[in-house]
Structure formats: structure tokens, C-alpha cells
Structure 1
Amino acid sequence: MAALMSRVGKRLRKIIQRPASVELTRYEALLPAIEKREAELQKLSDAEFTEAAGKLRATEPPERVSFSEEQLVTLCALGREAARRALDERAFDVQLLGTMGLLTGHVVQMATGEGKTLAGALAAAGYALRGKRVHLISVNDYLARRDAEWMRPVYDLLGVSVGWVEPALSREERRTAYSAEICYGAVSEIGFDVLRDRLVTREEDLVQPEPEVAIVDEADSVLVDEARVPLVMAGSVDAGVADEEVATIVRRLRLGLHYETDADGRNAWLTSAGASVVEKALGGIDLYGEELGSGSDRLASINAALHAHALLTRDVDYLVRDGKVQLINASRGRVAELQRWPDGLQAAVEAKEQIPPSERGEILDSITVQALLARYPQVAGMTGTAVAVAEQLREFYRLEVAVIPPNMPNIREDAPDRIFASPSHKLRAIVEEIREVHETGRPILVGTQDVAESEELAEKLAKAELPCVVLNARNDAEEAGIIAEAGKHSAITVSTQMAGRGTDIRLGGAAAAVGSAERERVAELGGLHVIGTARYPSSRLDDQLRGRAGRQGDPGSSVFFASLNDDLVLGYAPDVPGGIEAEDETGEITAASAYRHIQHAQRVAEGVDLEIHRNTWRYTRLIERQRGELLAHRDKLLRTPLAAETLEKAAPERYAELAERLEADALGQACREIMLYHLDQLWADHLAFLTDVRESIHLRALARETPIDEFHRAAVPQFRKVLPEAEERSAQTLTEAEITEDGVDLAASGVRRPTSTWTYLVHDNPFDSDAEQALKKVRSMLRKKRG
């Protein structure tokens, strides 16, 4: 009876402490059987060991692989021995629990330093041995390459091939990487390869095989934070044009007099005084006139210039490096390689910084992270902070969270937040905190919000004679080395976003082994001290920063500093409750209500992000269905004689004429290229149409119509025109184009594919358009009139 009550109590504790957590009892019961296999596996030679792993291979794997308990035991025993031989690391029981959680299709939560990389590798090998190609999806290119190379010896022993993709690879190298049983890649790189494959005109140019299994590292970051930023492929059209005159005028405008911004810094608009100044500076035009040539054609470039001037900040939203504007991925604190804003805004930022404009482009296709992952029949993931987004993982991806206990108890001390009246008071207190802790010799890691803040703090520390190393988007290529040494005695490391950095901080530094004198010296002092300079918009990001201390039972501590004038509070909870008073000298606030208010602001920010994710998916679900239908047709055109058969019916005389003088293969390829060009072009036009609909759809709410219903009503009939129109245009091109044995000269017919492609960074929020903001103002004015 006592044993039964103990088990019930244990389960109740798990339910209370770990919301949305998968029960681990089934996996825990397998651990003794796995341990029993160790002795016999250790006796095998490497060749015999690889042969034993090969016996797990399935002859005809089903669409979805499942693992019996016996297979889980065998696989984990083999994985543990492979890691011992290849890496001199015996996998902990908790790592094997993580592996089993991944093999059964869950998102496993494992704390920082608990060995997610090995757990993910063993799970990937398990899927591969059962006959499935696995994409191990990472948050950045560095981690993809590092983990693939690091785990390769383990894969070699298990008889599984591995590769990775990164931006520098050629098409042939990518095809080779994807042909491996396991391929590592950043989510953006894998997504862009999907988009590039959608533009090829020959089957042999495809680089990706059909997707089968995805294991997502830093799953909360990829599946939740990245979900609002679709991957967008654009193609070059011509040289960009920057409106230098407008940029010069907008540079002189002043906030509060000539323009206003909303509280959360998402939108800016001209006041009547600002509009008058701009109209006068542009020669007395009427910006809002309806007549052609009235000046309304300049309004788009003025709005873009105002957005660039008022809402985008250098060293926060972007860097200027090597004569180019480089975007910063806010959720990672890194440069977003090969990404840019849509053309008008990109040109406006370049004009603001007085940089020559880059090429102008048109959007060719896009895919959300959610749609990218939906392509895989089986998905699993791992992260240090999954419980906080368990509901979103279930709602959007049908994934459940399995919380893996730490191998060693966490003894990190998390101090209460220290709150100040202003950012200046807070900054002085942070410098003083760093000074006091540094004098003890403890290593310090400071997590800042953006590049500008990290550099401002570094400057203050330098003046205080406290030398530090800075890690931000300017030097993110050096991140592994910087983070690895952040645990050295007396080290001070200042970093932007720590989520997804992927490198453990060992006490004493990277070379300090467990039990070494240097490690023990730092541990005796109290271990790594983590300081957050502000609460992040998500509690998960706070937890990921905290989790850098206290790795594998190490001592450590953390504290967050906050201000009632931080961007988080001003943006999401600007109405501070009364009765909160600060100390005169330090500006510190000790009232519990201040702490609750900052927590409230963070919850509001998380709620806004969730609503954006939901609203984005409501709109993109229809687009994804249309994209799926179109891609199925495109695939037939690419892989079968459908294009030739279609054009033979549409333009029989011209087709017969060409068939007399051309080889069947040459004519078939010419027909294929013509039809694929027009299909791709019409899809790009359709995406542009849908964007325009989205921008204006909210005004329909004035007529009490549901915007999403109106969006469907406009999008569906327009899509139905795409395939017939593609056939009609293709027949005309076949009739007019010059076609020889060398192929079709599309350029001479005015049909030209882009010479280069790049990606756009688009924060896809359907309820934050200019039209929605205008609607809010109309409603506000109506309320005032009624009042």
C-alpha cells in the first residue's frame, strides 16, 4: 500500500510541477536492461560493433517508424557504447531518457549542459538505422557544422552516414549532404533549399529528397520564436532606387512635432504639421490628393523613410558593416545572413545610412517555419525551456513535452530581481554589481538586450577599469571561443541573446576538466555569476540565460536587473501602478508591486507573440493549401511529359512544326521551361496579390465583416485563375519564342528568370498593418465623438 501511495504521490508531483509533461516511467523502466547490455557490447571489436548496429536496420520501413521496447533498449545500449568509444563519454541515464523521448516523437526538455547534442545524435541514428532520412535542424549554421563534425565518430561506429548544409556549399555539395542518412542544417538553410528546389526546371537540379524525420534543436526558439518570421525567397529585377530627397527631409523631422509613434514601436505616422513640412519641402505637393501626379505617389517612400528613421535603430535592428546594411535577428542576437527587408524599407534604411542601394527584387515564394515542419511525417525536438510553450507546441505542431530530470541536482542560487526607477540608475547598479563580484574572482556572464546595450555597458566597464569580452552580432563568428572561456577565473563576458549559443560554459574555462585545480578554484568561489540587464519579452529567454550557471550540479548564481522604463514595460504595460517609490540615492525600488508589474508586462508580451502566431497561421493555412496544390502540379510538370502534352493540345500547329525539326527531349524540356516559368511567375503575382489583400482587408471590419472570411473570399477565386492563365501564356510563348536544339531562348521572348536570389526578413503580423492602425484611430475618434 505504501509503495502504491508513493507512486501516486510521485505522479501527482509531476503533474503539479511539470505541466504538459509526458510520463517518463515507461522509459525509466528500460534503463536497467540497457545497463545490462554494456559488458557484452564492450567485448566486441569495432567491426563487430558496427555489424551489431546494422541488425537494427529495417528492410521496408513504414511511413512512420515506431520503436518497440526491445529496439529502444538495443539502440540506447549501442549508442552509449558508441559514445564511450568515439568520444570517451558514457551517456548518462538522463541522456538516454532524452533519446527515447525523441524516438517516440516528443519535445524533450533538458537543462543546459545536460548533453542534448549526444541525445539528439543517438535518436537521429536510431531513425536512420530504421531506414529513415533525418534532418537535424539547428538554430544556426555554426552549430549545424559543429555538431555534425563532433558526432561523426559516433555515427561511423553505428554505420550511419552524416552530412551538413551551410550557405557556402554548392548545389552539388548540398545534394551530397542531403543524400546522407543524417543531415544537419540551420532551419533557415533547409527552408531556403526547399524554396530553391521550387524554382528548378530540371529534375536533376533538385537537391532535397522527400522529407521523412526532423529533430529540432532549440525547439522552442525554432518552432515558436521563428514561426512569425516566414522564409521568403526573392529574385533580382533591377538595381534598387533610393529616394535620397525624401531621406534628407525625413532626417530633419522631430518626434512629437512632425510625427508620432505607437507605444510598442511598431508604427510611425506624420502629424498634420509633419505632412505640411514634407509637402512644402517636396515643392508644394499634396501627399493625400487623389489626382494622378498629386504627390500621393511619394507617400509610400515617405512612409518607408519615416519607418527607417523612427523605428529602426542602428546596432539594435541592424549593423552597417563592409558598406552594407546587415539585419540582426532579434531572437538570437546575430546577423541574419542573406536577409533583408522588403524593397521599399531596405532602400529607405540604405538611404538613411547613405549607402548605395542594393538590387531590387520580387518575391518568388515563401514558407513559414510551421509549414516547413509540416512537410515531415515525423517531428521531434529538444530544448532547455519547452514547458513554457507546451500549449503552443501542442496547438501548432501536435507535439507533447517530456521533461527530463537533471543528471545532478541544480544548486544554482537565483536572486530576486533588482528593480530601479530608470535605466541610468539600473546601469550604475549593474556596474557596481560586476565590480563587487569581480573582486572575488568569480567569472561573470552578463546578458544584454541588443548590440547597442552590450557596447554601452562595455564602455562603462572599461571606464571602471573592469576589462570584459563582448559577444554580439559584430563578432558572432568568434562566439564558440568566447563562450567557452566565460567560466575562467575573473572573466567578465558581455553577450547579447544567449539562446541557441550551443556552447557549454565550464568552470575554469574550456580546458578545465572535472576535478582539475582551476575548476575547483572557481567552484569554491561560487561558480559562474549570471546577470541579466533586463527581462526579455519571454520568460524562456530569461531561463536560458540563467541556465548558463549551475551546469551539471555546478555552483552558480543569477540575478536580473530591471527598470520601470525598460522597453518591455514601456511597450506592454506603460501604466505603472501608483504608490511605487524609489530610494533617493540609488533609485532602487523594493515594492513587491513593481516586481509584479514587470512580470505582467512580460506576460502581455508573451500573449501578443502568441496571438501573432495564431493570426499568422490563420492566414497562411489557406496559402499553404494553395501552395501544396500548385506544387503538386509543378512537380508533375518537372518530372513527367505533362508540359509537352499540355502545349501540344493548346498550340497544336506550332507544336507539330517544332516536333518535325527537334528531338523529342529538346522539345519536351523547352515546353517544361516555358510552363514552369509562367507558373512560377503567376504564383509570385498571386503572393503579391495576397499581400495587397492582407494590407487592406482590415478595413472590411468597418462593415462588420470578418477579415479572415474576406481574405478567403478574395484569395480562392484568384488562385483558380493561376493554372488556366499559365497554360494560356505558355501557349503564346511557345508560338512566339525561338526554339532550337539548344533549347528555348526565353530571354529574347521577354521571359527571364532572376539572375540571383536572396531572402527577406518579414515580420508577418496580419493584425499590425498600416490599415489596422488606421482603423484603430478611426475607432478612437468615433469613441471620442460619442463621449
Structure 2
Amino acid sequence: MGAFDWFWKAMGAQSGRNQKRSRAIVDAAGDRASELGALDDAELAGRARQLTASGEVRDPAAFLAVLAAASKRTLGLEPFPVQSQAVLRLLEGDVIQMATGEGKTLVGAMAATGFALGGRRVHVVTVNDYLAARDAEWMRPLVEFFGLTVASVTEKLTPGERREAYAADVIYGPVNEIGFDVLRDQQITSREQAVQAPADVALVDEADSVLVDEALVPLVLAGSQPGVEATGQITDIVRHLRENEHYTIDDDRRNAFLTEAGAKRVEQALGIGSLYDDGHIGTTLVKVNLALHARALLIRDIHYLVVDGKVQLIDASRGRVADLQRWPDGLQAAVEAKEGLDVTEGGRILDTITLQALMGRYPMVCGMTGTAVEATDQLRQFYGLQVSVIDRNKELRRFDEADRIFATAEEKNRAIVAEIAALHATGQPVLVGTHDVAESEMLAEALEELGIEVNVLNAKNDAEEARIIAEAGDLGRVTVSTQMAGRGTDIRLGGADESDHGEVVELGGLAVIGTSRHRSSRLDNQLRGRAGRQGDPGLSLFFVSLEDDVVAAGGAGEQITAQPDADGRIDSKRVADFIGHCQRVTEGQLLEIHAQSWKYNQLLADQRVIIDERRAKLLDTGQAWGELAERAPERAEELSGLPREVLERAAREIMLFHLDDSWAEHLAHMDDVRESIHLRAIARETPIDEYHRIAVREFRDLAQRAVDDAVATFRTVPIDAEGAHLEDQGLSRPSATWTYMVSDNPLAGSGNSVISGLGNLFR
């Protein structure tokens, strides 16, 4: 037995015991159903409050029976025993795995109600606005039955509406909105400006997507200040550079680098001596690299769209537009210049937080998804969460066909079109999962040339996605979707109203086709799970070529020989095993990236806690005035004629400005350090240890600098009955803020990249 095998074995045994106990409690709940079902509404709600009066559930079986009775009365939904088991596991803090169509939305609402009855405010964390608003309204009758309040937070809400929503007992909200509200609340100068109220529990829907797929995605808040812009002249010069002659791209297409010939070409065009002179390396070279990154690595309709004269980012993990998000300002400007659009104002990063750190703010985290088992290691290692697998209510009848493997991508694509046409000819509905917008549109175009009507889902709004995806199981439908578009929406055979259910069942149910393997088998299984809901038949089939991304990334240059048939298809167990090996390699790479990123981010997350505590003291007490008056008593005496509340407000604004300014500088500096930390390895130093040493030293300086700067400002800034006039000294806060996300991958990027963070934008 390996050094840690005993631990995982013990964890598995514990999980099994928990599941056995859960089933026993659910059976007991069934025995109590008739007794509790006889109570009237007030008595039933009263019984729930009695059972949770201590903050914990006293009699789990009785409580599950109460929740089930209330669900039946308010929603017309009587939970299956497996759903009640899932509720129990959530209440005990697990991540539950439930198959698609097994009723996770109801399970989440029942568990959230249980937490709220125990006096804990719950954030039900979703993946998008549409699901947050839909689920809050759908489950509202159940939550309100017990005298609790429920609300949703979505992008369109005003600060006042957000404040009201966050005051509810159960709040549904997309993870990005919740995270950005945390960041915005860290910029306030009086407590009344805050929109969030403290929450005790994060119940995460699609937990693998939020906690694993997007764990490396920092949420970034930027403010309107002049930033780096790409000039039109540089964009025109870079547009004429040729790959492999003037620049090269690394194997995983994350970074582009000027060659010596390319640098000379740019220098001649600009009429300068050297891009690498001190006068150009921090300005002109940065702009050139930004323009080169935009030119060589960012592809329209894959990484971004141009809509109404504006660049709109595509969220790669969901295949849809990332609303109100942008790249770091220099890169955003470079892409806009590349597309011939008006270049928007630059900015400065004010604050940032990873989703992993965001989840760490909750005393308790639990979640639910259809594919948690494959993410067990990450959930245990980074969140301390245990996975409980909940059995299906009905046995799975989906047929998962072996991969069809082809030598080239062109042969594979021809076979995909032929297979879809053959399935469509029978009337069987088909859902195709593609990897990006461009692929989905090319496939749809090929099918339409054959006279096949196609519904395409790529970067449309969430509500339209949900409507289209809900009809994907209807007779004769062909739906082409980017990765997990419409996730969270149930696909019913025969259409949303199931009017043709029987006929579609006879044809074999929904056929799901993947156009290639993903870098994680978990993502493959997410797609497979769209078919075969609630005992329905279904088919899943993946097409793979030896030119696919997962093979190139996981094969690491390995060559495999095989004899394809006339259509390019390869029928070889050895090749199939090799592709499985490639996928396992990429899964290992992703886990290593996650582990490395966690190590880099954890120290900053700990420092953020200290900043948060300092901010809270300055906001909620008169400490700011006390500190400034003590450090500059002559100025305090000079202002003694002003009301105390005015002085405290002025001192608070001064100290908060410099604390926030110093924190933003610290983040920018540590980002620069991290970008170049690989150079420490050349000096035989451990990069992560050196990074931590620098971060600790710089943070110590930050605290002292923030106070010193605040004292200096206090001595000179005009202060009157209206407060401190910071803008008179050019110290005003940004007039506007915006948000964006950037993938955080410390393993990407290499020595001569001078663009902070740009080598790590895409997974």
C-alpha cells in the first residue's frame, strides 16, 4: 500500500458508511411521510422550525419528510428517495454527483431551505444569470412556505436592488456576479455602500465547473485610469509579420515571440535603434508584443466576436459571450486596433480574487453536479470536500459507443457530417458538442448544404440557449452547440412538452455526438450526460483524429503508426489506448497546473484576509482618525473646530484610499514577479519559495507605506465641513470600473515573455 493509500481508502470507507446511514434515514423519512403529510401548512412549517431551532437538524428523517411534503404541496413535485438522500448529503457538506435529469434543482432548493431554517444565509451559486433567476422563481414557493425569503442576483441589478437581494435568506446568483460584488465591496468608503451581507453557506450548482474548471480564473476589477494602448502604426507593422520568419508560436499556442529578424523588421519600420533599449523595453516592446499576441493568438469567432463595433470575449469553458468582461486593457486595445475599431480607455487593476479564494470566504461549501467523481482529487485537495455519488432513480439505458478514430481532422469531419445525416434521416434527434464558435458554424454550414436544418448554440444569450436546448430532444432536431451551452436545462425526449416522447424513444432517444475528446474525461462525460435522462434510451459517440488538440498536447511528440481504411478510419485497440493515454496526460497536466497555481495564490489570499480585516476596522470604527491624529497632532489640532463625524469620515477616506492604492500596487508588483520567477530557477533557487519570500517582504512594506502616505496626505489635503478633498491632490478614486477574467496558469509562458499575464489567457 502506498504512503497515502491508507488515507484515500479510509476516506472511501467513511463515504460508504455515510451513504449507508443516509439511505437508512431516507427509509425512515418515508415511514414518517403519511404522519407529517396530515399536518396543515402552518403546522408543517412549525414542525420544520422546531426541528431546526438549535441551528442543527435534530431529527433528519422527520425533517426530510417535512421538506418532501412541502415540496409536493408548493411545487407539485414529490422527491424521489434518491433526491432526499442527496439533500441529506448536501446538509452534511458533501459534493453530490447526480446524473442529468435527476432533479438537482429541487435537491438544491430543499437543502438551501434546510440551511436557512437553521439560521444560516445561503448563496446558491450558479453558472449564469439565467439559471439564477429561473431557479429562484421556480423554487420560491417552497422556500417561502417556511416563512423564508428568496432572491436572485443578476448582472442587470442596481446596487440598491443587489443590497435588497443579498439581505434574503436564500440568494441565487452566478459565481461571477457574487465574486465581483465582493471586489466592489472592497472599494467602498462607508459601510452603507456595501451590497453584500455575510453568508454562511455556498451551495454550488455545477460544482465541478465552478470549483475546478474555473478555479484558475481570477476575477479582476479594473478602474478608469490611463493604461497601455496599442498604436495603429504598430498594429499595421505587426499585421505584415510572417510566422516562423518574424515570430514563432510555442507548441500549445499560448505565447508568440519575435525572432531576431522580426525584431529588426519592427525596429526598421519604427525608425528606432533597438526594441530592447531601456527607453523602449517597457513601452514600445510591450505594445509590439500586445499587437503580436492579438494578431497571432487571438482568433475572431473563437476567442472573441465583433458585435456592433465592439469586441466581445467568448468564455471558453461555456462557449458563450462573457458579458461586461474584457482583457487587460493593453490587450483589449490591441485586439480593437487589429479589428479597426475605436480603442477604448485603458485602466488599472484595482483588485482581484480567484474563485478558489472566493469559496474560501464561506464557512461551509457544498455542491452538486453530474460529474464529480472525476474531480474527486481536486475537490479533496483544494477544498477539503468529499464526493457522494447518488444512484439514479431509474437504470441508465444510454449506449456509449466506442470512439471512432480517424487519421486526419478532415476525414473525421467528413465522417461526423455523414453520421449526423444518417441519424437525422431516421428522425432521431441529435445534439452535437463542438469546442468553439468557428467549429460549430462550419459544421452547421456543412449540414445545411445537405438540406438539414440546424439549431446553432454559440455565444447567444442564456435564455435563448435554454429554450433551444430544451427542444433538442424533439423529433428530427439537430442541435449544434459549443461546450456545455444550455447547461442546467433539462432535455426531454419529444420536446419540452414531451409530445413525441414515445416516438423518439422508439428511435433510440437523443444521440449525443462529440466532435473530439476534451482534455479531461470529465468534460466528455458532461456531454454524454445530456442523453439518457430518467431511464430514457440514448446514444453517445465521440469522433477523434490523430490531429486533435488532446492528442497533440498529451502525446508530447510521440509518433503512432496505424493503417487507416479508405475513409481514413482507424480500427485499432492500440491507437484507442494511446488516445486514452493522451487524455490522462492532459488531465495530469491540468491537476499540476491547479496545484502550482494554488501555491502561488494561497499566500496572496492570506494577505487579502489581513487587508480585509484592516479595511473593516477602518470602516466600522474611529480608528482612522485616532491613528492620523496621533501621527500628525498639529494637523489634528488645526482641524479641531470641525464636527467629529466629519473628521472621522475624512480620515477614513484618506486611509482607505492609500490602503487600496497600496494593495493594487502590491498585486501589480507580484504579478510582475510571478511572470519572471522562472528565472530564479537558473540561479538554483526554488521559484515558489522565492515568490513567497518576496511577497512577504513586499506586503510588510505595503502596510507601512499605506500609513505613511495617508499621514502625508492628511497633513496637506484640504479638509472642511464637506470632508477631505482628495481630488484636489489627484487622489480621486476611478470614475468607472469594469470586470474581466483571465486564466491563471503558472506553467504557461516562458523566459522572454514581457507581457504580464498574457501568456496565460487561454486554457
TM-score range with shorter-chain normalisation?
Answer: over 0.9
With 233-242 and 486-495 compared, the bigger mean Cα shift is at 233-242
- Whether 1:555 aligns to 2:525 is no
1:689 match: 669
Relative distance call for 1:67 and 1:658 in structure 2 (3 A) is same
Provide Cα deviations, 1:444-464, integer angstroms capped at 9, x if missing partner. 101001100000001001101
Relative distance call for 1:339 and 1:20 in structure 2 (3 A) is farther
- Whether 1:603 aligns to 2:598 is no
- Whether 1:507 aligns to 2:493 is yes
> How far, CA to CA, are the matches of 1:599 and 1:245 in structure 2?
47
- Whether 1:34 aligns to 2:22 is no
1:511 Cα deviation from its structure 2 partner: 1.0
1:314 match: 300
Provide Cα deviations, 1:127-181, integer angstroms capped at 9, x if missing partner. 1111101111111111111111110011122222111111111111111111111
> How far, CA to CA, are the matches of 1:373 and 1:625 in structure 2?
13
Contact kept in structure 1, 2:417 and 2:447, CA below 8 Å: yes
2:420 match: 434
1:187 match: 175
1:772 Cα deviation from its structure 2 partner: 7.5
- Whether 1:532 aligns to 2:514 is yes
Show the 5 A alignment for 1:225-374: 225-238=213-226, 241-290=229-278, 292=279, 297-374=283-360
- Whether 1:621 aligns to 2:608 is no
Provide Cα deviations, 1:214-255, integer angstroms capped at 9, x if missing partner. 111111110011111111111111376331111111111222
Provide Cα deviations, 1:5-63, integer angstroms capped at 9, x if missing partner. xxxxxxxxx989x999554100111122211222233323323332332323425x4xx
- Whether 1:165 aligns to 2:191 is no
1:576 Cα deviation from its structure 2 partner: 4.6
2:678 match: 698
1:209 Cα deviation from its structure 2 partner: 2.0
2:569 match: 588
Show the 5 A alignment for 1:55-134: 55-58=50-53, 61=55, 66-68=56-58, 70=59, 72-134=60-122
1:126 Cα deviation from its structure 2 partner: 0.6
1:297 Cα deviation from its structure 2 partner: 3.5
> How far, CA to CA, are the matches of 1:715 and 1:649 in structure 2?
29
Gaps of 5+ in 1: 1-13, 775-787
Q: Alignment partner of 1:771: what SS?
A: coil
- Whether 1:671 aligns to 2:651 is yes
Relative distance call for 1:246 and 1:21 in structure 2 (3 A) is farther
Q: Paired residues, what number? A: 745
1:54 match: 49
Contact kept in structure 1, 2:203 and 2:367, CA below 8 Å: yes
Q: Identity percentage over the alignment?
A: 53
1:472 Cα deviation from its structure 2 partner: 0.9
Contact kept in structure 2, 1:67 and 1:104, CA below 8 Å: no
> How far, CA to CA, are the matches of 2:458 and 2:277 in structure 1?
46
Q: Alignment partner of 2:51: what SS?
A: coil
Provide Cα deviations, 1:387-435, integer angstroms capped at 9, x if missing partner. 1010111000000100000000001001110111112111111111111
> How far, CA to CA, are the matches of 2:216 and 2:167 in structure 1?
30
> How far, CA to CA, are the matches of 1:365 and 1:769 in structure 2?
23
1:10 match: none
- Equivalent position to 1:403, from 389, 394, 397: 389
Q: What one-letter code is carried by the residue in structure 1 that aligns with 2:245?
A: L
- Whether 1:43 aligns to 2:38 is yes
Contact kept in structure 1, 2:120 and 2:199, CA below 8 Å: no
1:653 match: 634
> How far, CA to CA, are the matches of 2:366 and 2:695 in structure 1?
33
Q: What one-letter code is carried by the residue in structure 2 that aligns with 1:579?
A: T
Q: Alignment partner of 1:483: what SS?
A: helix
Show the 5 A alignment for 1:743-754: 743-754=723-734
Normalised TM-score (structure 1):
0.92
Gaps of 5+ in 2: 1-7, 755-763
> How far, CA to CA, are the matches of 1:422 and 1:265 in structure 2?
20
1:781 match: none
Q: Alignment partner of 1:437: what SS?
A: helix
- Equivalent position to 2:709, from 712, 726, 729: 729
1:280 Cα deviation from its structure 2 partner: 1.8
Q: What one-letter code is carried by the residue in structure 2 that aligns with 1:405?
A: D
Relative distance call for 1:32 and 1:709 in structure 2 (3 A) is closer
With 765-774 and 180-189 compared, the bigger mean Cα shift is at 765-774
Q: What one-letter code is carried by the residue in structure 1 that aligns with 2:355?
A: V
> How far, CA to CA, are the matches of 1:495 and 1:405 in structure 2?
28
Contact kept in structure 2, 1:22 and 1:400, CA below 8 Å: no
With 611-620 and 726-735 compared, the bigger mean Cα shift is at 726-735
> How far, CA to CA, are the matches of 2:16 and 2:165 in structure 1?
34
> How far, CA to CA, are the matches of 2:541 and 2:561 in structure 1?
25
Q: What one-letter code is carried by the residue in structure 2 that aligns with 1:672?
A: R
1:593 Cα deviation from its structure 2 partner: 2.3
1:272 Cα deviation from its structure 2 partner: 2.1
> How far, CA to CA, are the matches of 1:494 and 1:595 in structure 2?
26
Q: Alignment partner of 1:534: what SS?
A: coil
1:296 Cα deviation from its structure 2 partner: 6.7
Show the 5 A alignment for 1:452-601: 452-498=438-484, 501-512=487-498, 518-573=500-555, 575-584=557-566, 586-601=567-582
Q: Alignment partner of 2:288: what SS?
A: helix
Provide Cα deviations, 1:276-335, integer angstroms capped at 9, x if missing partner. 222222225312335x35x77311111111111111111111111122111111111121
Relative distance call for 1:368 and 1:578 in structure 2 (3 A) is closer
> How far, CA to CA, are the matches of 1:540 and 1:500 in structure 2?
17
Contact kept in structure 2, 1:408 and 1:553, CA below 8 Å: yes
1:782 match: none
Provide Cα deviations, 1:258-280, integer angstroms capped at 9, x if missing partner. 21111111111122222222222
> How far, CA to CA, are the matches of 2:680 and 2:564 in structure 1?
48
Q: Alignment partner of 2:283: what SS?
A: helix
> How far, CA to CA, are the matches of 1:181 and 1:296 in structure 2?
50
1:200 match: 188
Relative distance call for 1:247 and 1:19 in structure 2 (3 A) is farther
Normalised TM-score (structure 2):
0.95
Q: What one-letter code is carried by the residue in structure 2 that aligns with 1:723?
A: A
- Equivalent position to 1:217, from 188, 205, 214: 205
2:5 match: none
Q: What one-letter code is carried by the residue in structure 1 that aligns with 2:639?
A: L
